[in-house]
């Protein structure tokens, strides 16, 4: 647990997620579900604004780790989506080091959005490519 390469905690806050971010992500990911893009469809489903793709939230989790440990450092990343993120909200993430084994760190992840409601939990296994 005393490997200096691995911070005890990481914190990450995204910009507020805009319609253009969701549209770019839809194009990049091929997920064109109108729930993410169309105000009316979102409202018919009971949401005020379109929902952020779960995979867009997870892409930010990946970014949190590659920013801290470099490209290629994420050996495993797992996310459980527990709540919805609406367009216009920010993601706030916190990763806590839980163990280091054979040069790889394991972090637990918690993601909140908007006013702090939990939206995802997860786990990552990190091994920097360039120690």
Q: Which residues bind to another protein, rule: CB under 8 A?
A: 14-15, 21-22, 24-25, 27-31, 33, 54-56, 58-63, 65-66, 71-72, 74-81, 129
Would you say 57 or 112 has its CB closer to another protein?
57
Does residue 40 sit in helix, strand or coil? helix
Would you say 1 or 27 has its CB closer to another protein?
27
Least separation, in Å, of the C-beta of 2 and another protein? Answer: 26
CA 87 – CA 50 distance, rounded (Å): 6
Would you say 24 or 96 has its CB closer to another protein?
24
Least separation, in Å, of the C-beta of 12 and another protein? Answer: 11
CA 15 – CA 22 distance, rounded (Å): 13
For residue 69, give the nearest of 112, 123, 2, 10 by alpha carbon. Answer: 10
Least separation, in Å, of the C-beta of 84 and another protein? Answer: 9
Would you say 22 or 112 has its CB closer to another protein?
22
Least separation, in Å, of the C-beta of 49 and another protein? Answer: 17
Name the residue with tokens 């280091």.
100
CA 56 – CA 34 distance, rounded (Å): 15
What would the two tokens of residue 103 be?
């040069």
């Amino acid at each position: 647990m005393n490997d200096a390469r691995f911070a005890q905690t990481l914190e990450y806050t995204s910009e507020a997620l805009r319609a253009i971010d969701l549209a770019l992500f839809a194009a990049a990911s091929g997920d064109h579900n109108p729930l993410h893009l169309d105000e009316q469809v979102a409202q018919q489903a009971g949401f005020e604004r379109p929902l952020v793709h779960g995979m867009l939230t997870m892409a930010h989790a990946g970014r949190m780790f590659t920013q801290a440990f470099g490209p290629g450092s994420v050996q495993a990343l797992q996310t459980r989506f527990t709540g919805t993120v609406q367009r216009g909200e920010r993601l706030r993430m916190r990763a806590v080091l839980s163990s280091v084994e054979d040069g790889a760190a394991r972090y637990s992840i918690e993601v909140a959005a908007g006013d702090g409601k939990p939206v995802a939990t997860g786990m990552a296994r990190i091994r920097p490519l360039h120690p």
